[in-house]
Amino acid sequence: MPTNQHIAEQFELLAKLMEIHQDNPFKAKSYASAAFAIERLPIELADMNRNDIAQVKGIGASSAQKIIELLDRGSLQSLEELIQKTPSGILEMMQIKGLGPKKVATIWKEMHIETIGELLYACNENRLLRYKGFGEKTQKNVAESIEFFLRHKGHFLWAELETYAERIRHILVEAFPSYIIESCGLFKRQMPVVDALEWSTNIPFALLHTFFEKNEFQLSQVDELELTAKGIENVQLRFYRSSTEQPAVVAFRKNCSELFFNEWIGQFQGKWSSATTEEEVFTACGISPIPTYLREDPAVIERYKDAAPIQVIQPKDIRGIIHSHSDWSDGANTIEEMAVACRNLGMEYLVISDHSKSAFYANGLQEERVKAQHQYIDELNSKLSPFHIFKSIECDILNDGALDYSDALLSTFDLVIASVHSNLNMDQEKAMQRLTRAIEHPATTILGHPTGRLLLSRKGYPIDHERIIDACIKNGVAIEINAHPRRLDLDWAWVGKAQEKGAILSINPDAHVIEGFNDVRYGVLAAQKGGLLSKNNLSSYSLTEFTHYLKTHRKL
Ligand SMILES: [Zn+2]
Ligand SMILES: [Zn+2]
């Protein structure tokens, strides 16, 4: 059954295509707002009574009809027709950041440009400037977005591939029960962005060929040791055949970063040739097994030589939910719903951090509403005790680095998460000034999503990581590892460094709906790559420890 997310995406696409084709603007608008409403629905449309769908806020009769069509047929006829009428290059262009339907329509109908490559070329020749709505800045942004898009084409978020990877593995195991199929590569290494799903196997390629052809996958054989297949999901499946070596040994090679593997060969060449599992590779070399996610920096080899294995953080080590939004700002659920769900997950506390007043697009809280929210949280706390809701705010870091409320108001929160949400296009000097000032503010407890990046869609402003980490340590500010799979910001590659220097990290889901709590797991998977220990992760603190931390770090 189509999920809400899928339905919302289809509606969004429909609305955009209608606008591009100048088809009934009134209806296009209503589909766009339906998409917005569907995305935030706390229950799955597929589970709802069909007759109730039209009653949902933000969904009108005509959208409801379309939802039912999608649920019944799996697709929308009007959308299919529009896609048919649109060149594939234009469809691709719609994924470029900064190009709304109006601009895409101008590019297509007035500039007569139908592919991304042509558009990039036109940007370089300053041809966009002649058209209404395209200034120098837009042209520059469009060019940068296209370059970004082209670089990352065919890449996916780890979280986007999780279910698919499991499904493919399941299908293969069923079809080839007597063979070995070992997952390996970037996905196995828990990389936040992945360009293919990889396996090492002893299934003869001839058999894989027949199998995938029968299932209408596109195939290409790279050489006798590598085969790739691609289904309608457009994800590359890559198979490494182990003819002389065992699949596990091939998997081992693919499960190490290049640096790690080179160091390994240098130290242990030839020692593991008879290993049949990855574990045997390690035993043969006299080292306790290093988990796949840690095989990045070769320095980890030394640590595993004489010391006991590192007890890296696990999903079960999360004891509280820090950084979540409610329907007071741009969240979908009430604080009570969030709190009860959080408690049901076995968590000891919830930190509610709605947006501050300058985040008007997210219904940020004006001063009076902060006070009202605090009162409401007090009431809930007496009802839900010993579970505890902490009063927090995701406070905007303003353009000059100041925080979004007076010190007097800021001092009424249990903790403050300071984040940048506006004017993201800045150079490093500006970004550093802004962040440093916010970190030095006595109210700041946690620095939220430090670079503002959105994986595969926005690069994030440039920062000097070392200096930001140092400033956070000096000022007793924890650094967020925003666990949303599109953020994972602070990047794992800096987590180890920050921990080494003595920073406290905080794996936070930034949940906007109850289901968002599940994202903490993605944060943990990324943090594992940095070797994060639970004792250095704020959201692993028990309620008592967390309360103590806040008390000892209070400066306002
Ligand atoms: Zn934020
Ligand atoms: Zn947030």
Residue 92, pLDDT score: 92
State the distance from the centre of ligand 2 to the C-alpha of 510, rounded, in angstroms.
Answer: 5
Sign of CA dihedral 349, 542, 438, 497: negative
Ligand index nearest the alpha carbon of residue 419 = 1
State the distance from the centre of ligand 2 to the C-alpha of 32, rounded, in angstroms.
Answer: 23
Residue 276, pLDDT score: 86
Torsion region of 318: left, alpha or beta (phi above 0 gives left; psi -120 to 50 gives alpha):
beta
State the distance from the centre of ligand 1 to the C-alpha of 325, rounded, in angstroms.
Answer: 10
Ligand index nearest the alpha carbon of residue 508 = 2
State the distance from the centre of ligand 2 to the C-alpha of 157, rounded, in angstroms.
Answer: 20
| Cβ-Cβ contacts under 8 Å for 183 (sequence gap 6 or more) | 165, 169, 197, 198, 199, 251
State the distance from the centre of ligand 1 to the C-alpha of 488, rounded, in angstroms.
Answer: 12
Q: Give the amino acid at 127.
A: R
Residue 550, pLDDT score: 98
Write phi, then psi, for 165 (nearest 5 degrees).
Answer: -60, -40
State the distance from the centre of ligand 2 to the C-alpha of 449, rounded, in angstroms.
Answer: 9
Residues 426 and 456: beta-carbon distance below 8 Å: no
Between CA 487 and CA 32 the distance in angstroms is 25
Mean pLDDT in consecutive groups of 10 residues from the start of the chain, 556 residues? 89 96 92 92 90 90 94 93 94 90 94 89 83 89 88 90 95 95 96 96 93 93 89 90 77 95 94 88 93 96 86 97 95 96 98 95 93 98 98 98 98 98 94 98 98 88 98 98 96 98 98 95 98 98 98 95
Ligand index nearest the alpha carbon of residue 450 = 1
State the distance from the centre of ligand 1 to the C-alpha of 439, rounded, in angstroms.
Answer: 15
Residue 243, pLDDT score: 67
Ligand index nearest the alpha carbon of residue 418 = 1
State the distance from the centre of ligand 2 to the C-alpha of 474, rounded, in angstroms.
Answer: 24
Query: Which residues are bridge partners to 458 per DSSP?
Result: 454
State the distance from the centre of ligand 1 to the C-alpha of 545, rounded, in angstroms.
Answer: 25
Ligand index nearest the alpha carbon of residue 331 = 2
State the distance from the centre of ligand 1 to the C-alpha of 537, rounded, in angstroms.
Answer: 19
Between CA 200 and CA 208 the distance in angstroms is 12
Q: Output the furthest CA–CA distance in the chain (Å, rounded).
A: 72
State the distance from the centre of ligand 2 to the C-alpha of 333, rounded, in angstroms.
Answer: 14
Residue 245, pLDDT score: 60
Residue 221, pLDDT score: 80
State the distance from the centre of ligand 1 to the C-alpha of 455, rounded, in angstroms.
Answer: 14
State the distance from the centre of ligand 2 to the C-alpha of 494, rounded, in angstroms.
Answer: 21
Q: Is 509 helix (H, G, I), strand (E, B) or coil?
A: coil
Between CA 97 and CA 457 the distance in angstroms is 7
Digit-coded pLDDT (tens) for 65-101: 999 999 999 899 999 999 999 999 999 999 888 899 9
CA nearest 449: which of 500, 516, 505, 524? 505
Q: How many Cβ atoms are within 10 Å of 330's Cβ, its own excluded? A: 16
Ligand index nearest the alpha carbon of residue 330 = 2
DSSP letter for each residue of 309-364: PP-B--GGG--EEEEE--TTTT-SS-HHHHHHHHHHTT-SEEEEEEEBTT-GGGTP
Write phi, then psi, for 323 (nearest 5 degrees).
Answer: 75, 85
Residue 375, pLDDT score: 98
